[in-house]
């Protein structure tokens, strides 16, 4: 970058604005607290839907999902009912580091960057990554990572057996991440991006421990964030005032009151039919199905010309969408409205891949965790998670106050533009200037 400031980008997966503020104010995160005092701290909106693969893809490209092509952790390609799992190969626009080959980049644990590919620097993929060997560029780093027992993700299965084992694994995985960042810090780079993803896992299983001071894991919850804060403090002590430090999350989090099964709503309403006696999966979607949902709440109309057993004539699409919207608008749990926002595809998405976009996306009201499983017989139930993602309360924190052209309430797709303006513009061109959140959306 030739004498220009370096960019240090630290991601805290899923961490909401209020939680960061609370843990800073209460002294659990003093380094972050000091940065909030001296820098710029804003609430940020996530992608729609508010899942990591979509949100991080928007963060690293500046593009809308219909431009970068990542709409969720799963997809069903047209002309099939086959569930596919999009990864980095499916990202249809180039991330910032591939547009700036003159600079050196260290990229550690960014979700949805698996399999790793060549970069002018280092890339170690974040989740979902099946095989560490394919998650590391250049390959000669693999022995170093093996030495520190580096793991990409915690074994969440452990949490289902024992929260103690889960916390142990979470801390161990985080320590290895910290060791990896220290190992990579000494390399030559202009941009260093590191994402802590254990935060998301911790909050899914132990949000209740955060809210309840008397919870037996309350200290474990705070200690995890304390450790993250210590690492941030260490990083801050290693940078110059002229460097840009950007700390951000991809989506927010809140207490999970109830899981809500979107496909069960469609099944009970006669709009989704599965072959009788067959397994509850997408390949068994039967004739007569008008719509189906993919996680967390992306609804696709089962169009005649788009899917093998499509049953909706394109001319009837509008009225089917209308019918679905009415059903979810009126969905109540013990008198409380379940759905916060219902977006039609045109309201949320803009880009070359509109055909792949869901026709409707639902965002849940506070506490309602929307899921798409075909196998739940009930619309409402409560599983093991105590925390859930939220769309509107991610955050961005920057170590600079002046010279920042930052929207009052930015969205994840604005991040590239913000970093660009910190660098005086022109370094990393955003792929799209369209916001994820349409005008008129309720803002917090």
Query: Which residues are near Zn ion by CB under 5 A?
Result: 200
Q: Smallest gap, in angstroms, from Cβ of residue 184 to Zn ion?
A: 25
Q: Select 200 or 359, whichever has its Cβ closest to Zn ion.
A: 200
In the complex, which residue's CB is closest to Zn ion? 200
Q: Select 133 or 157, whichever has its Cβ closest to Zn ion.
A: 157
Q: Smallest gap, in angstroms, from Cβ of residue 50 to Zn ion?
A: 9
Cβ burial of 213 (10 Å; 0-12, 13-18, 19+) is exposed
CB atoms within 10 A of CB 121: 21
Q: Select 47 or 191, whichever has its Cβ closest to Zn ion.
A: 47
Q: Smallest gap, in angstroms, from Cβ of residue 148 to Zn ion?
A: 25
Q: Select 386 or 434, whichever has its Cβ closest to Zn ion.
A: 386
Q: Are 78 and 355 in contact (CB under 8 A)?
A: yes
The tokens for 278 are: 């067959």
Q: What angle do CA 162, 149, 207 make, to 5 degrees?
A: 35
Q: Select 200 or 414, whichever has its Cβ closest to Zn ion.
A: 200
* Bridge partners, 130 (sequence order): none
Handedness of CA 44, 46, 51, 55 (dihedral sign): negative
Q: Smallest gap, in angstroms, from Cβ of residue 392 to Zn ion?
A: 16
Q: Are 17 and 43 in contact (CB under 8 A)?
A: yes
Q: Select 19 or 320, whichever has its Cβ closest to Zn ion.
A: 19
Q: DSSP character for 10? A: E
Q: Smallest gap, in angstroms, from Cβ of residue 256 to Zn ion?
A: 11
E strand spans, 16-110: 40-44, 105-110
What phi and psi, each to the nearest 5 degrees, are found at residue 13? -60, 125
Q: Smallest gap, in angstroms, from Cβ of residue 154 to Zn ion?
A: 12
Query: How far apart are alpha carbons 428 and 60 in whole angstroms?
Result: 10
């Amino acid at each position: 970058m030739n004498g220009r400031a370096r960019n240090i980008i630290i991601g805290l997966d899923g961490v909401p604005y209020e939680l960061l503020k609370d843990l800073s104010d209460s002294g659990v995160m003093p380094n972050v607290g000091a940065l909030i005092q001296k820098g710029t701290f804003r609430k940020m909106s996530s992608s729609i839907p508010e899942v990591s693969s979509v949100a991080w893809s928007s963060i690293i490209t500046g593009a809308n999902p219909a431009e970068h092509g990542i709409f969720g952790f799963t997809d069903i390609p047209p002309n099939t009912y086959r569930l596919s799992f999009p990864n980095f190969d499916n990202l249809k626009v180039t991330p910032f580091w591939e547009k700036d080959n003159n600079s050196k980049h260290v990229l550690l644990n960014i979700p949805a960057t698996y399999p790793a590919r060549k970069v002018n620097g280092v890339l170690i993929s974040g989740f979902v990554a099946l095989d560490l060997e394919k998650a590391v560029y250049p390959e000669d780093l693999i022995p170093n990572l093996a030495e520190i027992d580096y793991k990409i993700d915690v074994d969440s299965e452990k949490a289902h057996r024992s929260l103690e084992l889960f916390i142990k694994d979470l801390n161990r995985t985080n320590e290895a991440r910290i060791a990896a960042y220290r190992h990579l810090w000494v390399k030559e780079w202009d941009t260093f991006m590191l994402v802590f993803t254990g935060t998301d896992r911790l909050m899914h299983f132990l949000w209740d421990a955060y809210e309840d001071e008397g919870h037996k894991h309350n200290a474990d919850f705070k200690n995890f964030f304390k450790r993250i804060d210590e690492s941030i403090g260490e990083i801050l002590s290693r940078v110059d005032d002229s460097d840009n430090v950007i700390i951000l999350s991809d989506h927010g989090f809140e207490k999970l009151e109830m899981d809500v099964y979107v496909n069960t709503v469609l099944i009970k309403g006669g709009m989704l039919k599965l072959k009788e006696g067959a397994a509850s999966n997408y390949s068994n979607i039967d004739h007569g199905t008008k719509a189906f949902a993919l996680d967390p709440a992306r609804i696709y109309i089962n169009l005649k010309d788009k899917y093998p057993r499509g049953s909706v004539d394109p001319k009837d699409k509008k009225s089917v969408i209308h019918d679905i919207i009415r059903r979810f608008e009126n969905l109540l749990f013990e008198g409380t409205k379940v759905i916060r926002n219902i977006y039609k595809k045109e309201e949320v998405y803009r880009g070359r891949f509109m055909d792949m976009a869901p026709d409707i996306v639902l965002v849940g009201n506070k506490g309602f965790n929307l899921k798409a499983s075909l196998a739940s017989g009930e619309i409402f139930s409560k599983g093991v998670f105590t925390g859930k993602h939220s769309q509107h309360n991610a955050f961005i924190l920057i170590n600079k106050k002046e010279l920042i052209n930052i929207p009052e309430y930015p969205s994840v797709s604005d991040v590239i533009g913000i970093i660009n303006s910190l660098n005086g513009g022109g370094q990393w061109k955003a792929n799209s200037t369209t916001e994820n959140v349409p005008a008129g959306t309720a803002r917090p």
